[in-house]
Amino acid sequence: MNLHEFQAKELLFKNDVQIQKGYMVSNLDKVEKVANKLSSETGTEFFVVKAQIHAGGRGKGGGVKVAKSLTELKDYSSSILGMMLKTPQTPKEGKLVSKILIAEDVYYPGESENQEFYISLLLNRSTSKIMIMYSTEGGVDIESVAEKTPNLIFYEEVDPSLGLMPNQARKVAFNLGLHGTAYKNMIKFISSLYLAYVNCDASLLEINPVLKTSDNKIIAVDAKMVLDDNSLFRHKEYKDLRDESEENPVETQARAVGLNYVDLDGNIGCMVNGAGLAMATMDLIKQSGGEPANFLDVGGTADADRVEVAFNLILQDPRVKAVLVNIFGGIVRCDRVANGIVQAYKNIKDKIKVPIIVRLEGTNAEEAKDIIDNSGLKIFSASSFFNVTEIIKEVLS
Ligand code: GDP
Ligand code: MN
C-alpha cells in the first residue's frame, strides 16, 4: 500500500525521525489557519506547498512551490490544489491534486551550506537483509545518479535479527562526508529511520532529499513509503491511510471480494488458483508469444460467484485479447469449477467479446472437459499445456 508524503511523515514523526513540519489541506479556506499555526510552532515566515499525489518528480512538474509570504502561499495553494499535475511518473494526462501539504521552509534562504542527500531502505530478498541505499547526490532523481555516477551510491546491508549496528550508522554518516554536530545528528536520523522502517512494516522507505541545514540539522524533506500489504492485519490503524482514488480501480474491486489481483500490461487475461500455478501460467503465456494482462489468484474456492467476479475484473481491461483459465482441482473438484465457469459465462455473456481458454486439471478433469465441451458456449477447452500454447498462438495470430 502506497502512502502520501504527509502520511509517511506522520509515521516518521511518531518514530522520532526529524521531519519538515507541515499540515495537509484539502480546502483553500484552511490555508491561512495552517500558515499561522506553522509560524507559531516553528517561527517560519516562508512556506512550501506540495501536491500530494502518489507519484514522484512533483517538483519538476510544478507541484512544489516555495512561498515567501502569506499572499504567495495562497496563490500557490489555489493553483496547485485542483490542478492536473504531470510528472514523469504520472499517466500522460496527469493526476488530479485533491490534497496539498503546507510545510515550513527548511532551506534558510541565502545560506549556501544546505546539503541534500538521498537515503532509502528496502528489503533485499536475495540476502534476506534490509538494504540502506544512500548517496551524497540527493534532490535529483536517483536513477540518473545510478546511471552516470554509480560510485556515488553506497549500500549498507542490515541483518534484521541484529538491527542497525552503531558502526553501520557511523559509516553512513561518514560516507556522506559529515562531521561534528551534523555527523551526530545523521547517526540519530539513520537509526530512527531504520526503526521506523521496521516498526511500520514498510517494504520501501525513500527520503529524497534528506536535508542538512546550515545549522547542522538533519531533516526529512520528502518521504515515500510503501507499507507491506501482508502486515496490514497487524496495523488496524492503517485502514484509514488507504487512498482508493489513487489506486487501480480494478485492484480495489478485487480486494473488496478477497481476490488477489495485480494489473499488468499484457494482452492475455489469466485466472488461476494458487500463486505458484499463477507464476507458471504467466511463463506459459510468455512462451506462447503473449504477455500476461494481470495476475489473478482466485484461491481455493473457484465457485461460480468468484469466477464471475474474476471474469468481470479481467474483461474491464480493453487490452485483453483472450482469457486463460488455468485451474488445478485438488481440494476443489474440476467439475464444480467447470459448472461455475459455464454459469458465470452465461451470466455475463454480453460482456464477453474475446475467446476464453479453459484448462482444468486434477480431480474429475474428464467430467469437467465434458461439461465445457457440451455447454454450447464459445469456450476452448485445453487438455494440456501444449494445447494452451497452440490456442494462444492461434488467438494472437
Ligand atoms: P518531488 O519532486 O516529488 O521529489 O518532491 P520533493 O518533496 O522532493 O521536492 C522537490 C524539491 O523541492 C526538493 O528537492 C527541494 O529541493 C525543494 N524543496 C522541498 N521543500 C523545500 C523547502 O522547504 N524549501 C525550499 N527552498 N525548497 C524545498
Ligand atoms: Mn523528492
* Pairwise CA distance, residues 117 & 186, whole Å: 11
Q: How many CB atoms neighbour CB 292 within 10 A? A: 23
Contacts of 394 (CB under 8 A, 6+ apart): none
Q: Which atom of ligand 1 is nearest to 208's Cα?
A: 8
Domain 1-20+109-247 matches domain 248-396 at the CATH topology level: no
Which atom of ligand 1 lies closest to the CA of 56? Answer: 3
| Nearest one of 67, 69, 100, 70 to 82, comparing CA atoms | 100
pLDDT surpasses 70 at 109: no
In this predicted structure, what is the pLDDT of residue 382? Answer: 86
pLDDT tens across 144-166, in order?
999 999 999 999 999 999 999 99
pLDDT at 210 over 90: yes
From the candidates 118, 194, 238, 345, give the one annotated as an active-site residue.
118
Atom 25 of ligand 1, residue of closest alpha carbon: 107
What's the CA-to-centroid distance between 170 and ligand 1, angstroms? 26
Sign (positive or negative) of CA dihedral 368, 369, 370, 371: positive
Query: Which tens digits make up the pLDDT trace of 346-370?
Result: 988 888 889 999 999 999 999 999 9
Provide mean pLDDT across the span 212-218.
Answer: 94
Domain at 21-105: CATH code: 3.30.1490.20
Q: What is the spatial distance between Cα 161 and Cα 164, in angstroms, rounded to a whole number?
A: 9
Ligand approaching nearest to the C-alpha of 57: 1
Closest ligand to residue 206's CA: 2
To test the ligand 1 pocket, which listed residue (21, 222, 224, 225) has its Cβ within 8 A of the most ligand atoms?
Answer: 222
Asked whether the beta carbons of 200 and 225 are under 8 A apart, the reply is yes
Please, is 74 exposed, middle or buried when counting C-beta atoms within 10 Å of its C-beta (0-12, 13-18, 19+)? Answer: middle
The CA 59 to ligand 1 mean position distance, Å, reads 6
pLDDT in tens, 295-321: 998 877 667 778 888 988 998 888 999
Judging by beta carbons within 10 Å of its beta carbon (0-12, 13-18, 19+), is residue 110 exposed, middle or buried? exposed
Residue with the nearest Cα to atom 15 of ligand 1?
Answer: 139
Q: pTM value?
A: 0.82
Per-residue pLDDT tens over the stretch 256-291: 888 888 989 999 999 998 889 999 999 999 999 999
Q: Which atom of ligand 1 is nearest to the CA of 106?
A: 23
Q: Which of 353, 351, 319, 113 is nearest to 217 (CA)?
A: 113
Ligand 1: residues with CB < 6 A are: 20, 48, 50, 56-59, 64, 66, 105-107, 139, 208-209, 221-222
CB atoms within 10 A of CB 275: 12
Q: What is the pLDDT of residue 40?
A: 97
User: Which amino acid does the sequence have at 137?
Assistant: E
19, 119, 221, 224: which to mutate for ligand 1, most atoms within 8 A of CB? 221
**Residue range 373-387, pLDDT digits in tens:** 999 998 988 877 778
d(CA 92, CA 296): 27
- d(C-alpha 336, C-alpha 303), whole Å: 7
| H-helix or E-strand spanning residue 361 | strand 356-362
Ligand index nearest the alpha carbon of residue 48: 1
The overall average pLDDT reported for the chain is 93
Query: Which residues, in sequence order, are bridge partners of residue 381?
Result: 358
Question: What is the domain partition of the chain in residue ranges?
Answer: 1-20+109-247, 21-105, 248-396
CATH topology of domain 1-20+109-247: D-amino Acid Aminotransferase; Chain A, domain 1 (3.30.470)
- Whose atoms come closest to the Cα of 111: which ligand? 1
Ligand 1 center from residue 374 Cα (angstroms):
64
Which atom of ligand 1 is closest in space to residue 103's alpha carbon?
23
Give yes or no: 157 in active site. no
291 is catalytic: no
Q: Name the residue of 12, 20, 64 to mutate for ligand 1: max ligand atoms within 8 A of Cβ.
A: 64
Task: Locate 77 and state its grid cell.
Answer: 495553494
**pLDDT single digits (tens) 172-184:** 999 999 999 999 9
Q: Which of 206, 238, 261, 345 is catalytic?
A: 206
Q: Which of 306, 202, 218, 282 is nearest to 20 (CA)?
A: 218
Sign for the CA dihedral angle at 272, 277, 280, 284 comes to negative
- DSSP states along 194-240: HHHHHHTTEEEEEEEEEEE-TT--EEE---EEEE-GGGGGG-GGGGG
Decide which of 3.40.50.261, 3.40.50.11890, 3.40.1160.10, 3.40.47.10 is the CATH code for 248-396: 3.40.50.261
